[in-house]
Structure 1
């Protein structure tokens, strides 16, 4: 067990942030999966800006790395452009 008040508080804060970050990271992964599974060009085109916005926000808040966000955005954009 922690010996200082500040370390007890730090443990609480870390646990809270971890849950918060895991929730948003999982939501992002599901959104990317849903977009990649889409075969309809119109639906994918409509979904693309929302997913890109989500990725940008998570990268800005350091929940995911900015280069990971860029790679995911690039991949989903290629997928949407390749749809007929």
Structure 2
């Protein structure tokens, strides 16, 4: 464990950030899972596109906050977009 005052503060900050990032990553994973389930259910195209827009927003926000890399976000969005039903 850290001994210096500044190191103790850094440890507290790291823990807060870790928990915040964890919740955001979980949210991204869950929205991706929901989109894939929607695609497998053969829902209407409008329903899928609406949920895809929400997923894009969540993924982009997580990249903007630095939780995931911007190229990782682009890759996830691209792979979800390929699932659009015909």
| TM-score of the aligned structures, taking structure 2 as reference length | 0.89
Structure 1: give runs of 5+ residues left out of the alignment: none
- Kindly indicate whether residue 30 of structure 2 is the aligned counterpart of residue 30 of structure 1: yes
List runs of 5+ in structure 2 lacking aligned partners: none
* 2:76 is the alignment partner of 1:72: yes
Instruction: Name the TM-score, length of structure 1 as normaliser.
Output: 0.91
Residue 16 of structure 1 corresponds to 16
Offset, 1:60: 1.0
Which one has the bigger helix percentage? 1
Q: How many residues matched?
A: 82
CA RMSD of aligned residues (A): 0.9
* Structure 1 residue ranges (4+ consecutive) displaced by more than 6 angstroms after TM superposition: none
